[in-house]
């Protein structure tokens, strides 16, 4: 296949970027989207030109590194797939493909298609964990969890932290990411002691990282390569409201600021 | 090189307990005065960093990814073993220990493996407490499945994403400690060398991948948790970023590298489709429970599988290993696939593939039953190949997956360099010559959560903080050497891409140091590698500078290290004149083509050290089996 | 604590949802009241609409005095509108700051014109509300013989202007779109959600949006088309 690519090129975080056109020829329809970019990059490299910087690692859809908006959709046209799992047979010979980085204030561009997603780590640091030190655990089967809650917690826990939800959201909101972690831990017995302080602190950090607010467009769940549902956002809202009400009733007894 | 394994005395099942009771401790108030560096944030690294910080040490953690959550442990699918015996099916610590030793073809250290089986119990407790959403039964208890030919159900799992969930648990613990201030995290930072002061590891030199800044970090101990080196084959199931640089740099500074030739080739991966291919995707081993593996009986039969009548198919695993059939262990199934493809009976356009056929299972159980069991795997297959495995058989082929070899460590996980530790896949580990399914996750977490937190104290108690800083001569010297290496790479202006060299090396290694090895092939490869290395420095091209994000430069450094490391790997394979586990020497096989182990001459761990003149020199740690009897593995 | 709640995006959304719910209740009641325009003249010779308006002024008067409850309701509505607008404004600002650089091409998959146009629709509604109060409540912008208390006549006369009718219909279309997304969204924001519940909520939101539109525009259309008779006297 022969393709035309329009790729966002930006040398440094502060420099002005622009779209640059590239032709790639003889692309195998069996190759993945990233392998197609590899092909182009190798051509650029031997010409002594700077290859297109993009993040990738596992190339099997689980590490969450790859992150590009392909033809207006995060991770490209296929549902439930990361960019590394997108294959060229999903395109037609002669197509023009527009490739852009994630766009969000909280995800500043570092170079070309590489953005800084450390804001996600900051949200986790605010409470996306259960405070149990190594060695302090009771026997695993002494904590019983009904299968439904365990399965639902797992559905939320499949988040790979790629940021497609933020990239897709017209508001640049990280609610799906935050809600997935809040729900994963909030659905489990082990997560109950910190349930409300967790949601309050994580939302606070999410706001501090300059993500937008949720207006229930639902774009995030369409873009999510793991199919995480916006029902978890609703769950976060519920827990947040409950947590704040508890705070008001109980005074400042909770860990949350 | 002195190889003192420091295995404690006493009966096997009391060694770890008595060792813990005897080793030196660091007073809680003093722990905060010690600095520990952890390189890599996979299962081993994240769990170690979090736990050491909880104990009070000042930890600095490093990863080259943009977040510690992306380490390649995340891609493990099947599960994690633990001798909990929740299924009441007769499992025990001893049984897990024995299975692991036997699965490793009797090339692992007994005491370490037994400890691994012991702490497997604590790992599951710890992970559940952290909120890892393991699969559960309706009664709310944890669910188990059997795996990798074990006779008991001891594998805990979280759908096909166990590695992800365990890593996210360890990552959460790490983030908790980062928030508390116990760990300082350096993402997007690659370790490029270890710094030794008076023969002791005192820190590392790193490159910030965003800014290109070279920095030194001082510590009282350095932990390498940097994973395996399967990407020496270029194509493997490992992530693109996996590399040997950290452990190879440690080797260059004097650490012993053990059993580098012990690599595991996983039998069920999606075959290569062409030159463009950048990595191979694993399909869970569980598929072999219901799929039948076959190739055409006749060479070069290019008919579509549905046109090949039953009588002209060769179900070779069922034919050769009637009692284990399609469920033969990984090393055996992989080799058998290679054999039929070498005979010219492989399928697919490349001829490097065998069929994994579900049509019988679909007939017997119905499509919906197969969909319930393997639906997500079938979807992945379809996504990658564009073929529907419900209608035509899958094509699979073996691929490099895991490396049992790694830095040599003693019972305390310390390498031959004092103060330098190796954890997880980065050490030569507990898996001998072949790893059992669902044991990698167990080992990574055992090392990080439950071994190093104890054993590091024994060393630190004797090595009080002494105020050495980054301006010490050794740091400045190492920094300078790192910069020189980088400037050499960044000045490469040839006409060949870095990846083309990596592919060439990978091909060479796969052909000669892959599933089947021979004296002739290895000798030839050992001669070819230096020549390839020379061409690399002449013909490779690295555009851009070292002053900012330069992914080509990163790859160039890793490939350059592979070009050195590969040679030691081949030397090791050449030295080991026997076939055991994943290491198969074509000269050493039975008449039926099975591996022939030689316990009289090769019951040792091969430890390669850098000699005075820079060439690799072999040292041996004799393996003593006092609790298990050496026997031949048979799956007939 | 309340201040922290107010400062968070989720808190702001919850305030929007609660005030939105109150306003939605109000417009449904208002629409039902409007339909009194079709009620004709009662036995006492007073139009049903004027009767209803008088009821609004006198409700609770035995206990609190005339118009007290009406003013309480008006104050409540004003607070709701005020908060709703304030939150909308702040959130929009936060949201637009969250994506300073947009995409060259973006393909939407599930968001609707309604969900993306909440701000635009809201601005139309705000300007409409201001006009509407000056038009029918105070009469400052009526210009066609406004008389305090004579609701039927004021409305009938007011809708003789085609531009007023056009603006009214436009505003009601905006209200309809606003309701279509808002009536569903508010449940999500308040955490009321379920796989069985969601289609029902979506359905109710759609029905409400349609009912509100037709209920409200029926009056100006019927008036301007002279289906409703001119006020007597």
Percentage, residues of chain B above pLDDT 90 = 87
- pLDDT level of residue B187 (50, 70, 90 thresholds): very high
- Put simply, the answer to whether B131 touches A191 (Cβ < 8 Å) is yes
CA distance A217 to chain B (A): 28
Residue A19's DSSP bridge partners are A8
- pLDDT level of residue B550 (50, 70, 90 thresholds): very high
Which pair of structure tokens corresponds to residue A201?
């602190």
Task: Output Rg (C-alpha) for chain B, integer angstroms.
Answer: 24
Per-residue pLDDT at A253 exceeds 80:
no
pLDDT at A257: 40
Percentage, residues of chain B above pLDDT 70 = 100
Per-residue pLDDT at B378 exceeds 80:
yes
Domain boundary among A93, A111, A129: A111
Residues B366 and B356: their CA atoms lie apart, in Å, by 17
Residues of chain C with C-beta less than 8 angstroms from the C-beta of A200: 4
| Least confident span in A17-26, B256-265, B527-536, C138-147 | C138-147
- Count of other CB atoms within 10 angstroms of residue B348: 18
Q: Quick check: do A and C touch, 3+ CB pairs under 8 A? A: yes
Closest residue to A241, CB basis, from C95, C109, C191: C191
Query: Into which CATH architecture does domain B473-618 fall?
Result: Up-down Bundle (1.20)
Per-residue pLDDT of B36-91, as tens digits, reads 999 999 999 999 999 999 999 999 999 999 999 999 999 998 899 999 999 999 99
Closest residue to B279, CB basis, from A59, A117, A161: A59
Closest residue to B548, CB basis, from A41, A55, A111: A111
Let me know whether A124 and A86 are in one domain.
no
Which pair of structure tokens corresponds to residue B334?
């992989």
Helix axes B43-55, B452-460, angle to 10 degrees: 60
Q: In what order do the strands lie in the sheet with A18-24?
A: A18-24, A3-9, A96-100, A69-70, A73-74
- Put simply, the answer to whether A6 touches C101 (Cβ < 8 Å) is no
- Count of other CB atoms within 10 angstroms of residue C54: 13
Domain boundary among A63, A78, A111: A111
Per-chain mean pLDDT for chain A: 95
CA distance A12 to chain C (A): 16
- Put simply, the answer to whether A204 touches C8 (Cβ < 8 Å) is yes
| A256 domain-assigned | no
Phi then psi dihedrals of residue C104, to 5 deg: -70, -45
Looking at residue A177, which CATH number applies to its domain? 1.10.1060.10
Subunits close to B (at least 3 CB pairs below 8 A):
A
Per-residue pLDDT of B555-596, as tens digits, reads 999 999 999 999 999 999 999 999 999 999 999 999 888 889
- pLDDT level of residue B325 (50, 70, 90 thresholds): confident
Total of domains in chain C: 1
Residues B262 and B576: their CA atoms lie apart, in Å, by 10
Let me know whether A55 and A125 are in one domain.
no
| A255 domain-assigned | no
Total of domains in chain A: 2
- pLDDT level of residue B290 (50, 70, 90 thresholds): confident
Percent composition of chain C: helix, strand, coil (DSSP 3-state, to 5) = 75, 0, 25
Q: Please name the residues in contact with C69: beta carbons below 8 A apart, sequence gap of 6 or more.
A: C59, C60, C61
- pLDDT level of residue C232 (50, 70, 90 thresholds): confident
Residues B226 and B230: their CA atoms lie apart, in Å, by 12
Domain boundary among A47, A77, A111: A111
Residue ranges in chain A assigned as alpha helix (H): 33-46, 118-125, 147-157, 164-168, 175-186, 195-208, 219-223, 231-250
> Residues C190, C195, C201, C202: what is their CA dihedral angle, to the nearest 10 degrees?
120
Residues of chain B with C-beta less than 8 angstroms from the C-beta of A27: 276
Domain B267-400 has CATH 3.30.70.1230: no
pLDDT at A256: 44
Q: Which residue in the list B330, B335, B345, B585 is annotated as catalytic?
A: B330
- Put simply, the answer to whether C193 touches A231 (Cβ < 8 Å) is yes
Q: Where are the domains of chain B?
A: 267-400, 473-618
Which pair of structure tokens corresponds to residue A246?
């508890």
- Put simply, the answer to whether B273 touches A28 (Cβ < 8 Å) is yes
pTM attached to this predicted model: 0.96
Average pLDDT over residues C3-27: 96
Let me know whether A157 and A242 are in one domain.
yes
**CB-based contact B86:B140 (threshold 8 Å):** no
**A47 to chain B: nearest residue by CA?**
B495
Let me know whether A15 and A104 are in one domain.
yes
pLDDT at B437: 86
Let me know whether A71 and A173 are in one domain.
no
| C103 domain-assigned | no
- pLDDT level of residue A254 (50, 70, 90 thresholds): low
| C230 domain-assigned | no
Average pLDDT over residues A83-91: 96
Q: Quick check: do B and A touch, 3+ CB pairs under 8 A? A: yes
| C184 domain-assigned | yes
| A257 domain-assigned | no
Residues of chain C with C-beta less than 8 angstroms from the C-beta of A103: 99, 101-103
Residue among B55, B582, B19, B10 at smallest CA distance from B332: B582
Residue ranges in C65-116 assigned as alpha helix (H): 68-98, 113-116
Looking at residue C140, which CATH number applies to its domain? 1.20.1300
Residues of chain B with C-beta less than 8 angstroms from the C-beta of A34: 278
* Preferred mutation among A112, A140, A187, A232 to probe B, highest tally of B CBs within 10 A: A140
Average pLDDT over residues B322-335: 84
Helix axes A118-125, A195-208, angle to 10 degrees: 150
Per-residue pLDDT of B431-486, as tens digits, reads 999 998 899 999 999 999 999 999 999 999 999 999 999 999 999 999 999 999 99
Residues of chain A with C-beta less than 8 angstroms from the C-beta of B72: 57-58, 63
Per-residue pLDDT of C152-183, as tens digits, reads 999 999 999 999 999 999 999 999 999 999 99
Residues A120 and A166: their CA atoms lie apart, in Å, by 10
Let me know whether A159 and A230 are in one domain.
yes
| C46 domain-assigned | yes
Residues of chain A with C-beta less than 8 angstroms from the C-beta of C195: 231
Residue ranges in B300-403 assigned as alpha helix (H): 316-320, 330-342, 359-365, 367-385
B254: left (phi over 0), alpha (psi -120 to 50) or beta: left
- Put simply, the answer to whether A215 touches C12 (Cβ < 8 Å) is no
User: CA end-to-end span of chain B, whole Å?
Assistant: 42
Average pLDDT over residues B405-426: 98
Give strand ranges (E) for B50-199.
Answer: 58-62, 80-81, 155-156, 183-186, 189-197
- Put simply, the answer to whether A140 touches B124 (Cβ < 8 Å) is yes
Q: Are strands B155-156 and A73-74 parallel, antiparallel or unpaired?
A: unpaired
Let me know whether A228 and A130 are in one domain.
yes
Give strand ranges (E) for B172-258.
Answer: 183-186, 189-197, 200-208, 214-218, 221-224, 257-258
| C231 domain-assigned | no
- Put simply, the answer to whether A134 touches B552 (Cβ < 8 Å) is no
Q: Which domain holds residue A178?
A: 118-250
| A67 domain-assigned | yes
Hey, do B267-400 and B473-618 end up sharing a CATH topology, with the first three levels equal? no
Tell me the CA distances in angstroms from A140 to A147, B84, B441, B559, one per residue in order.
Answer: 15, 9, 17, 43
Residues of chain A with C-beta less than 8 angstroms from the C-beta of B68: 121
CA distance C195 to chain A (A): 8
Closest residue to C116, CB basis, from A170, A207, A214: A170
Q: Please name the residues in contact with B232: beta carbons below 8 A apart, sequence gap of 6 or more.
A: B244, B400, B505, B506, B509, B562, B565, B566, B569
**A42 to chain B: nearest residue by CA?**
B497
Which pair of structure tokens corresponds to residue B23?
């080793």
- Put simply, the answer to whether A139 touches B54 (Cβ < 8 Å) is no
| C154 domain-assigned | yes
Per-residue pLDDT at A97 exceeds 90:
yes
pLDDT at C233: 59
- pLDDT level of residue B370 (50, 70, 90 thresholds): confident
| A92 domain-assigned | yes
- Put simply, the answer to whether B141 touches A144 (Cβ < 8 Å) is yes
| C232 domain-assigned | no
Let me know whether A124 and A246 are in one domain.
yes
| C139 domain-assigned | yes
| A129 domain-assigned | yes
Q: Please name the residues in contact with B402: beta carbons below 8 A apart, sequence gap of 6 or more.
A: B228, B230, B263, B264, B266, B425, B431, B435, B440
**B56 to chain A: nearest residue by CA?**
A133
CA distance A147 to chain B (A): 5
3-state secondary structure (DSSP) of residue B571: helix
Q: Please name the residues in contact with B496: beta carbons below 8 A apart, sequence gap of 6 or more.
A: A46, B539, B540, B541
Per-residue pLDDT at A31 exceeds 90:
yes
Residues of chain C with C-beta less than 8 angstroms from the C-beta of A219: 108-111
- pLDDT level of residue A69 (50, 70, 90 thresholds): very high
Per-residue pLDDT at B120 exceeds 70:
yes
**CB-based contact B166:B441 (threshold 8 Å):** yes
pLDDT at B330: 85
pLDDT at B287: 87
Q: Which domain holds residue C72?
A: 2-98+110-224
Residues A20 and C87: their CA atoms lie apart, in Å, by 40
Let me know whether A65 and A159 are in one domain.
no
Residue among B172, B189, B188, B168 at smallest CA distance from B180: B172
Average pLDDT over residues C124-149: 94
* Preferred mutation among C21, C103, C205 to probe A, highest tally of A CBs within 10 A: C103
- Put simply, the answer to whether B273 touches A87 (Cβ < 8 Å) is no
**B319 catalytically annotated:** no
- Put simply, the answer to whether B133 touches A153 (Cβ < 8 Å) is yes
């Amino acid at each position: 296949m022969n393709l035309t690519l329009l790729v966002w090129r930006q040398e440094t975080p502060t420099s002005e970027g622009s779209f640059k056109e590239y032709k790639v020829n003889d692309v195998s329809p069996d190759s993945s989207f990233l392998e197609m970019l590899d092909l182009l990059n190798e051509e650029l490299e031997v010409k002594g030109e700077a290859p297109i910087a993009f993040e990738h690692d596992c190339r099997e859809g689980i590490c969450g590194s790859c992150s590009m908006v392909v033809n207006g959709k995060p991770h490209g046209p296929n549902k439930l797939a990361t960019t590394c799992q997108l294959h060229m047979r999903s395109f037609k010979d002669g197509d023009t493909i527009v490739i852009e980085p994630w766009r969000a204030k909280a995800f500043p561009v570092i170079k070309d298609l590489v953005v800084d997603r450390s804001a996600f780590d900051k949200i986790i640091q605010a409470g996306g964990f259960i405070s149990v030190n190594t060695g302090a655990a009771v026997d695993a089967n002494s904590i019983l969890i009904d299968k439904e809650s365990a399965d639902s917690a797992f559905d939320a826990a499949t988040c790979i932290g790629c940021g497609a939800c933020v990239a897709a959201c017209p508001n640049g909101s990280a609610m799906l990411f935050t809600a997935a972690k809040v729900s994963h831990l909030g659905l489990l017995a082990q997560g109950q002691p910190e349930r409300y302080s967790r949601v309050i602190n994580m939302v606070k950090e999410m706001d501090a990282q300059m993500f937008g607010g949720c207006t229930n467009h639902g774009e995030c769940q369409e873009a999510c390569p793991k199919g995480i549902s916006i029902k978890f956002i609703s769950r976060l809202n519920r827990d947040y409201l409950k947590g704040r009400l508890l705070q008001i009733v109980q005074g400042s007894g909770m860990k949350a600021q | 090189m002195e190889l003192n394994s420091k295995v404690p005395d006493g009966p096997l099942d009391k060694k770890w307990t008595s060792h813990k009771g005897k080793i030196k401790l660091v007073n809680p108030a003093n722990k905060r005065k010690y600095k520990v560096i952890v390189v890599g944030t996979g299962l081993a690294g994240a769990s170690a960093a979090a736990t050491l910080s909880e104990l009070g040490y000042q930890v600095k953690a490093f990863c080259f990814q943009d977040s510690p959550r992306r380490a390649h442990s995340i891609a493990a699918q099947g599960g994690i073993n633990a001798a909990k015996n929740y299924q009441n099916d007769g499992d025990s610590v001893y049984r897990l220990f024995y299975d692991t030793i036997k699965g490793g073809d009797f090339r692992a250290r007994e005491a370490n493996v037994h400890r691994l089986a012991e702490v497997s119990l604590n790992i599951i407790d710890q992970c559940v407490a952290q909120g890892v959403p393991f699969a559960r039964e309706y009664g709310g208890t944890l669910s188990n499945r059997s795996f990798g030919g074990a006779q008991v159900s001891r594998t805990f799992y979280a759908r096909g994403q166990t590695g992800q969930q365990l890593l996210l648990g360890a990552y959460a613990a790490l983030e908790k400690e980062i928030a508390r201030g116990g760990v300082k995290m350096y993402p997007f930072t690659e370790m490029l060398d270890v710094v030794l002061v008076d023969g002791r590891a005192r820190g590392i030199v790193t490159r910030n991948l965003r800014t290109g800044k070279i920095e030194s970090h001082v510590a009282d101990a350095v932990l390498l948790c940097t994973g395996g080196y399967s990407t020496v084959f270029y194509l493997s199931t490992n992530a693109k970023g996996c590399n040997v640089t950290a452990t190879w740099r440690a080797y260059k500074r004097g650490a012993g590298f053990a059993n580098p030739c012990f690599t595991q080739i996983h039998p069920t991966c999606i075959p290569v489709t062409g030159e463009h291919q950048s990595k191979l995707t694993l399909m869970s081993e569980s598929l072999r429970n219901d799929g039948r593996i076959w190739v055409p009986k006749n060479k070069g039969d290019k008919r579509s599988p549905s046109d090949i009548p039953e009588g002209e198919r060769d179900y070779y695993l069922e034919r050769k290993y009637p009692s284990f059939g399609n469920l033969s262990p990984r090393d055996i199934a992989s080799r058998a696939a290679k054999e039929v493809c070498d005979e010219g009976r492989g399928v697919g356009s490349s001829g490097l593939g065998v069929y994994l056929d579900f049509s019988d299972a679909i007939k017997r159980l119905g499509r919906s039953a197969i969909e319930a069991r393997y639906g997500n795997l079938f979807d992945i297959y379809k996504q990658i190949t564009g073929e529907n495995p419900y209608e035509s058989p899958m094509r699979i082929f073996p691929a490099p997956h895991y490396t049992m070899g790694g830095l040599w460590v003693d019972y305390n996980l310390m390498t031959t360099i004092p103060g330098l530790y190796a954890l997880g896949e980065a050490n030569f580990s507990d898996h001998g010559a072949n790893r059992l399914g669902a044991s990698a996750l167990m080992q990574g977490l055992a090392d990080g959560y439950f071994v190093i937190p104890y054993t590091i104290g024994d060393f630190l108690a004797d090595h009080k903080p002494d105020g050495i800083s980054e301006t010490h001569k050794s740091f400045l010297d190492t920094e300078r050497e790192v910069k020189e290496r980088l400037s050499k790479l960044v000045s490469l202006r040839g006409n060949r891409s870095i990846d083309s060299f990596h592919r060439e090396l990978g091909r060479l290694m796969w052909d000669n140091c892959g599933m089947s090895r021979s004296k002739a092939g290895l000798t030839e490869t050992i001669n070819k590698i230096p020549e390839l290395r020379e061409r690399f420095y002449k013909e490779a091209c690295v555009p851009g500078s070292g002053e900012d994000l330069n992914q080509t430069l990163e790859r160039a450094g890793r490939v350059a290290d592979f070009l050195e490391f590969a040679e030691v790997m081949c030397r090791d394979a050449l030295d080991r004149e026997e076939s055991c586990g994943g290491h198969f020497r074509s000269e050493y096989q039975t008449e039926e083509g099975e591996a022939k182990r030689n316990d009289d001459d090769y019951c040792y761990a091969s430890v390669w050290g850098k000699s005075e003149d820079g060439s690799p020199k072999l040292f041996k740690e004799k393996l003593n089996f006092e609790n298990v009897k050496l026997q031949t593995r048979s799956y007939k | 604590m309340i201040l922290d709640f107010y400062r968070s995006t989720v808190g702001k959304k919850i305030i929007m949802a609660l005030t939105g719910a109150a306003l939605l209740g109000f417009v449904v009641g208002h629409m039902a009241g409007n339909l009194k325009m079709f009620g004709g003249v009662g036995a006492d010779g007073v139009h049903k609409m004027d009767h209803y308006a008088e009821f609004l002024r006198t409700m609770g008067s035995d206990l609190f005095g005339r118009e007290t409850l009406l003013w309480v309701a008006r104050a409540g509505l004003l607070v709701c509108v005020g908060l709703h607008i304030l939150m909308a404004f702040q959130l929009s600002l936060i949201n637009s700051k969250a994506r300073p650089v947009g995409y060259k091409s973006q393909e939407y998959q599930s968001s609707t014109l309604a969900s993306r146009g909440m701000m635009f629709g809201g601005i139309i509604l705000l300007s409409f509300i201001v006009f509407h109060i000056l038009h029918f409540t105070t009469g400052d912008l009526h210009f066609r013989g406004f008389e305090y208390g004579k609701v039927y006549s004021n409305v009938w006369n007011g809708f003789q202007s085609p531009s007023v009718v056009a603006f009214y219909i436009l505003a009601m279309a905006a209200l309809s779109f606003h309701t279509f997304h808002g009536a569903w969204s508010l449940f999500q924001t308040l955490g009321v959600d379920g796989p069985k519940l969601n289609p029902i909520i979506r359905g109710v939101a759609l029905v409400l949006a349609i009912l509100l539109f037709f209920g409200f525009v029926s009056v100006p259309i019927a008036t301007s088309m002279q289906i409703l008779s001119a006020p007597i006297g």
